[in-house]
Structure 1
Amino acid sequence: MKFQPRSTSQRIAHIFTTHKNRGSRDPYQELEGAYVSQICLAWEVLNWNYTNFWQKIAKGSDSESSSCTAWIAQQFQQFQVLLQRFIENEPYERGRRPQVFAWKRISSPKLLLVPEFRGCYTPDTEEDEGKEEMISSTEFLAILEDAIRTFMNFLKADTANPCQTLKAFFKTKPSSVDPNLLRLLKRTNKKNKTRLKDLSKRRRCLTKKKRKGEEDMEILMGLIDMKIVSRVLRMPEISQEQLRWCEEKMSKVKVWDGKIQRDSSPLFFFPVR
């Protein structure tokens, strides 16, 4: 699938800022579609940044290409701070997650926008000369891991309240997808998350050097994949194309015999039209 992150982000942002004048379409449904699109996009970009940087380190690249400018590192820290601030403030806001997110995006346009890692930096102006300071690969890797953990906390906080669950249960509007396939994918997703959590517990028991609560990054990223899929499956209006995306996304994470195999290649899909 052809990926154009800039144009996709612009389309999502346009919906966030113009949803009040969208004609006869349900504004909440469109907001939710834009929100889910944004979290899918953010995760694929964050995943790519981490995987790309880790591969540079694993290949023993030269120190210049496997280090990072302090300025870029600060952008990832800002990404994390904005997410953490949203998590802390959301309980005091009125409305459901997509609505609150849309309001916050107006005042904080960088919310959930993942920076791009660049190993080398050349200042364009004299004002930018302080930006070329470099930090070590170990420091930057820790920043990326903290950002991933915060993103997982952001996803965990996105839960459906009992009223929403009940409303979805009694929904009478005909669906365009096979309900049996939808139920199967939800069951499969739940089983995958259980396997990943069990594997994480076993590894923590075997590796005593890990601090309590410190996840194996590979498992954590697999759990985020499944969490993203479960959020897409939770949408009240979902298409057959979106179900196929969920199915393919889940197939990229396999757990067997105490091991995990995760395909980290991006799978871009955005239910925004």
Structure 2
Amino acid sequence: MQVFDHTACALGEGPMWHPERGELFWFDILGKRMFAKGAQRREWQFDEHVSACGWVDRDTLLMASASGLWRFDIPTGDRELVTALEADNPTTRSNDGRADPQGGFWIGTMGLNAEAYAGAIYRYYKGELRKLFDRITISNAICFAPDGTRAYFCDTFSKQIQAVALNSDGWPEGEPEVFLDLKGEGLNPDGAVVDADGNLWNAQWGASRVAGYSPAGAFVRAIDAPASQTSCPAFGGPDGTTLFVTTAAVGLDEAEGGKTFYGPAGTTGQREHRVIL
């Protein structure tokens, strides 16, 4: 993989390829910044933690912050609150998030200091924000099967990725089951994305890699990254065959730490799904 952007993010996260703009959006959660890079590079500074987004239309994002979900206007930088998100809880912030095939947006929260079980995972869909799962320490790996019948998520602290069935509207049905147990390998599952064939690609914090697993949970292969704290992958580029990976510099003295990387994925990703507000 090569450097896509040299900015050393304290906690790079939330990469999202905007298919209509041909731009990658990503975040430095601890730096309270959002970046975009395509033909040009831009960044926005906020007064609270921001962590993830989905695209609504060419000029609009749904952006997650510590206090809410916001309609963000890309050309002007203006934002308008869509719904509060744990705004009455000063000890938590948003973390991993992604749009699902049905047009909903899933967003996880966690404690500012990764307090045990302080976080949760929510879904925003057609005007409703609903809590799906609670007692989450570090919410991560939110991603979806291409046909919209299965969602994945994890609590990094548990070292397990869960899978849960979805109904036709994209709401979970039944109880989550363990899809991938990484405890035996000592691996820390962070952000994840699913390709067009249904394989899950998981950034593994501290392991300098993004690892691929089949829909049955079998290891496929790993893509090495130049920084150890890989945090989240995203597919993008004109044909969806480029893999972007954010990383984190926090707690490290590492030359490449916190930079955002890209390279050939060796597979084709799903087009990022549009959020329906």
| TM-score range normalised by the length of the shorter chain | under 0.3
Larger radius of gyration: 1
Which structure features the higher share of helix residues?
Answer: 1
* Greater percentage in strand: 2
TM-score, scaled relative to structure 1: 0.25
Greater relative contact order (CA < 8 Å, ≥ 6 in sequence):
1
**Length-normalised TM-score, structure 2:** 0.25
